[in-house]
Amino acid sequence: MTKRRDFLKSMGALAAGSVLLSSYKLAPKKVTNAGIQLYTFRGEMTADPKGTLKIIADLGIKQVESAASNKGLYYGLTPKEMQQTCKDLGMTLRSGHCGIDANWQKTVDQAAESGQEYLVCSSLPFWGDTVANYQKVAERFNRAGEECKKAGLKFGYHNHDFEFKQENGQVLYDILLKNTDPALVNMEMDLGWVVASGNDPFAYFKNYPGRFSLWHLKDMKGKSSVEFGNGGLDIVGLLKHGKDAGMKYFFIEQEDYPAGSPLASMKLNMDYLKKVNY
């Protein structure tokens, strides 16, 4: 009788533990590591980079991705100044947008000096809506990935909508995915432009799992960016599939400001994310 009672107690404890474990697994996640693409505050960053970074940090942003400006990659700051300013504000300079041009090696050197992890090409180095051109681009991206790796960086490419044009039934963006080495070329998926071009990001996550280590989280209405929840982006659904995509970091980017200003728009975006459970 004692053995049976002990056995039932053990089974009861096991069942209770299973319920707790199940509840833990099903517990919704909160967004805690939001990033920003600084193109969102492009005018403000050019005028007052340190002051603007303070405003951004106060919003709760943790990850920063820079963009090229008429004052250089870091808005007139040195790479080290940019890194330290972000660090002092509780943020990490994680990535930066650039082009592959005559200054490419200088760009790589500066990115390495800044301590950032990713260097992302935001435009095609060669133009042409053909499969042959995209194969040529893929070859250059593989070399860029090797060059960045030698400098301690990870190389990536950021899409827009034009990459989803087709030639003879072949989607040009898919040519990049199929002809670049995943170990050398990270894809930064601009989710807003994928949806605006009539494509399905979930299908890309399924067909190319793990390829999209960086995201631009951008809600859009038509081809204009809007505050979160006012466009067609399934933000909660996308975050739920972040692991399938291989997403490590996402950066909020807004190019248009229905709310009136970059700050007003970003406040609404961050308020939206605070309420998100996924």
Query: Tell me, what CATH number does 259's domain have?
Result: 3.20.20.150
| pLDDT given for residue 11 in this prediction | 45
82 inside domain: yes
Please give the Cα distance from 190 to 199 (Å, whole number).
Answer: 12
> Which range marks the domain in which residue 66 is found?
31-274
pLDDT at 133: 98
pLDDT score, position 23: 44
Mean pLDDT of 4-25: 48
What pLDDT score was predicted for residue 6?
Answer: 53
> Considering the domain boundaries, does residue 141 fall inside one?
yes
- Section 44-71 average pLDDT: 98
**For residue 137, is it within any domain?**
yes
Q: Does any domain span residue 9?
A: no
C-alpha Rg value of the chain to the nearest Å: 22
17 part of a folded domain: no
In this prediction the pTM is 0.90
Strand runs labelled E in 191-258: 214-217, 220-221, 224-225, 249-252
> What total of structural domains would you count in the chain?
1
Task: With respect to residue 148, please indicate whether it lies within any of the assigned structural domains.
Answer: yes
Task: Quote the percentage of the chain above a pLDDT of 90.
Answer: 90
| HSE-up (13 A, CA, CB side) for residue 90 | 11
What is the rounded average pLDDT for all residues in the chain?
Answer: 93
Q: What integer is the mean pLDDT of 127-150?
A: 98
Q: What is the pLDDT of residues 87-138, one digit of tens each?
A: 999 999 999 999 999 999 999 999 999 999 999 999 999 999 999 999 999 9
Please check whether residue 258 is in contact with residue 264, taking contact to mean a CB–CB distance below 8 angstroms: no
In this structure, is residue 18 part of a structural domain? no
pLDDT per residue over 222-261, tens digit each?
999 999 999 999 999 999 999 999 999 999 999 999 999 9
Give the count of beta carbons closer than 10 Å to the beta carbon of residue 61.
22
* Band (26; pLDDT cuts 50, 70, 90): low
Please check whether residue 86 lies inside any domain of the structure.
Answer: yes
pLDDT at residue number 14 = 46
